[in-house]
Amino acid sequence: MKRLILLLGLLSMVTPAPAQAMSDKQLVGHLKQIYISWHAAMVRKDANTWKRLTSTTRQINVRNRLWSERKKFPDSLFAANVAPPSIANLSAQRVRVKGNTAKAIYFGKVDFGVGGKPTDNVYVISYVKETSGWKYNGAEFVNLGALPEVRKQLQAGDLKFFDTADFHPNGIVEPAPIAIRGPVKYIAKTYVFCPGREVKLLVNKISPHLFQNTKRSDVVIGGAVDGLNEMQYSIKDIPGGDPKAPITLRLYLMSQVPGTKPLKVAEYQIEDGTKPKTSGTLRFQVTPEMTLKLKGR
């Protein structure tokens, strides 16, 4: 399908025809209705409707994340303090479709229900088309607090900000990730401090992580397992970054015993300006002694 660029002033609640016969206007309305129904399912805590309207890849990602923190699924899906925003009062700007992917762009007072007075920002909803039709595949919130001129342009109707690649679907439907089978035995988290660098990690060949010029921790999908575990890493400089800046890669196991600190089980660190290795593998063992500290038995 050729890329479609549609002004969303035509948005309407149209009952869609079969997918292959859908007009541009019907598709726009259909995608909007998918999100409205998905949002309602989140508010009602309706797991069956959420599953029906959510892409397979996103379902697996959400379930993997919750089980990797030993949380219940789907109960914990609806326990977040931040609610997905309604698009009822947002201004529709663009819908772009490429192949089996689509993005819908909204502008206005994006409200996550956390109080305060929402300001004008951007909300981008992604969709993918599966065998059973179009599905919600995630959303991005673009905070314009640091871009006041862009906010003014959008308020004045100048939409050039949306012409960059970030606001275009790429036409690629990501393959579904490996699905874990239930809550993990050991909760694991990566920690990376990498000013001026890009770091990629792969833990136990199942949990990929990307860090760029940041300091952040991530939950390891699949957690850690008894016996041997590994964390593969690659490091490269970001143009303009300081090649002598320190860098730290770590992996922690999180104790389920109240008051017990996490166990640091793997680390790669450069502090003295030495150039780091471009790649490597850190290995560690989960032993019975560790199990006592992590689980109390």
User: What pLDDT was estimated at residue 19?
Assistant: 40
DSSP string, the chain: ---EEEEGGG---PPP--GGG--HHHHHHHHHHHHHHHHHHHHHT-HHHHHHHB-HHHHHHHHHHHHHTT--TTGGGG--SSPPPP-TTSEEEEEEEETTEEEEEEEEE---SSSS---EEEEEEEEEEETTEEEEEEEEEE--TT-HHHHHHHHTT--GGGGSGGGS--S-PPPPPPPP-SS-SBEEEEEEE-TTEEEEEEETTTEEEEEES-EEEEEPTT-B-SEEEEEEEEEEEPTTS-TTS-EEEEEEEE-SSTTPPPEEEEEEEE-SSPPPPSEEEEEEEE-HHHHHHHH--
Q: Which residues of 117-152 are buried (b: 16+ CB within 10 A; e: fewer)?
A: eeeebbbbbbbbbeeeebbbbebeebebeeeeeebe
| Contact criterion met (CB below 8 Å) for 37 and 134 | no
| Contact criterion met (CB below 8 Å) for 264 and 250 | yes
Domains of the chain, start order: 4-167 (3.10.450), 187-295 (no CATH)
Segment 243-255, tens digit of pLDDT: 889 999 999 999 9
Segment 211-252, tens digit of pLDDT: 999 999 999 999 999 999 999 999 999 999 888 899 999 999
What is the identity of the amino acid at 142?
V
User: What pLDDT was estimated at residue 3?
Assistant: 36
pTM of whole model > 0.75?
Answer: yes
| Contact criterion met (CB below 8 Å) for 218 and 210 | no
What average pLDDT does the segment 97-106 reach? 97
User: What pLDDT was estimated at residue 104?
Assistant: 97
User: What pLDDT was estimated at residue 21?
Assistant: 55
Segment 39-77, tens digit of pLDDT: 999 999 999 999 999 999 999 999 999 999 999 999 999
